Structure 1
C-alpha cells in the first residue's frame, strides 16, 4: 500500500475508470471509495474491480454497519475503513479476515484497537488532533501505525509525516467531490504533487 491513499467520494461510476487511470499513472495504487452514498460507492467499487482489480488496493470507506461491510466485500473491496470507533463492527470485519482501518480520536480508542490486534488506525479528523497529539500518542503506542485523514493538505502533510503518520488519505484536495472524466489530468497532477512532497520529507 502506498503512503498516499485517494479518497473517492461523490463520483458517478461512469467517470470512475478515467479517474482511477489518472491516479495509477501518477503512482497512487490505493483507493478508498466512500460509502457515504452507498449505492454510488458500491457501483464504483464494482467498476474499478473489474477493470483494475489486479493493479491496485481497493477499499471501502465510511463503513458504519455489518451490512455495509458485507456489501463492500461482495462488490470487491479488499480493506475497510470506518469513520469512527465501533468495537463490535471492528471485530466483525476482522472475523472476515479483512484489514480494517478504524477511525479513532483518543488514546482509549487506540488502545481498544490495539487489543484486537489492529496494526493501523485512522486518526480522524487529523486536522483537529494536530501533530502534537500524534507525537504524544506515539510514546505509549510505538508499534501502532497512523493514517492521517480529514484535512490533510499540501501545507501540513510534511508536518504530519514528521509527527509519526505513515499513511495519508486525501479526499477533495486530491480527487474533487463529484469529479468527472474531464478532471483526469488535474487529479493526476494533484497526485504527483503529493507524492513529490512525501518523497522530499
Structure 2
C-alpha cells in the first residue's frame, strides 16, 4: 500500500449493494480517485464489498475499511482484503492491535488530548472527525502544537468547504455522501464522476 500523500481524497462507500460496487469503484478510479474506504456501518454488506473489490482490483485500489470499533471487525475486514483501518474515534488498544498486525490505522480524533495520545503511539496520520463540527479554525489552531501531523478531514466535508479545510491545514480528506451517496447505484455514475472531477480539480489547483 502506498503512503497517504498530501491532497489525497478517500471516497467513503456506505450502504452500497455488492452488485453495484464494482462500477462505482471503476468510475472513481477512472477519475483518479484510487483510495476507497468501505464502511462497516452495515457489516456483512461492507465485508462482501471489501472481498469483491480486493479480488477485482488488487493493487490498483487503495482499499480500506472504516467504522471499525473493535478488534474482531478489523480481523474480518483484513481477511477480506482491507489494507488499512479507519476508526470513528480514539481507542488506544484498538490502535495498538492493528499496528501489531503491521497494518496502517487512521484513528478518529476530536480533541487535542486525543491527538496527543495518537502522537504518543507514533502515528503520523489522524482522522479529524467530525471535521465540520470542529471547523477549519480548529485545524489551524492545532497546527501549532502538532506541526508535522497529517490531519485527514472527515465528516461534513463537501465541495462548499473543502477549500477552507485544506487552507487551514488538512492534508487529505475522506468524503462520504457528497461524493458517493449512501446506497448509491450505477444509475448515479454520472453524478459520481462529476463530483470526483470537481474534488480532484480543487485539490490539484491548491497543490
TM bracket, shorter-chain basis: over 0.9
Aligned counterpart, 1:83: 88
Residue 4 of structure 1: which of 6, 9, 15 is its match? 9
RMSD: 0.8
**How many pairs were matched up?**
201
Aligned counterpart, 1:146: 151
TM-score, normalised to structure 1's length?
0.98
TM-score, normalised to structure 2's length?
0.95
Distance in 1 (alpha carbons) for counterparts of 2:12 and 2:193 = 14
Distance in 2 (alpha carbons) for counterparts of 1:89 and 1:189 = 37
Alignment partner of 1:124 is 2:129: yes
Secondary structure of the structure 2 residue equivalent to 1:31: strand
Secondary structure of the structure 1 residue equivalent to 2:98: helix
Alignment gaps of 5+ in structure 2: none
Alignment gaps of 5+ in structure 1: none
Distance in 1 (alpha carbons) for counterparts of 2:192 and 2:60 = 18
Secondary structure of the structure 2 residue equivalent to 1:183: helix
Distance in 1 (alpha carbons) for counterparts of 2:165 and 2:44 = 33
Aligned counterpart, 2:193: 188
**Mapping of residues 14-163 of structure 1, within 5 Å:** 14-163=19-168
4+ aligned runs moved over 3 Å, structure 1: none
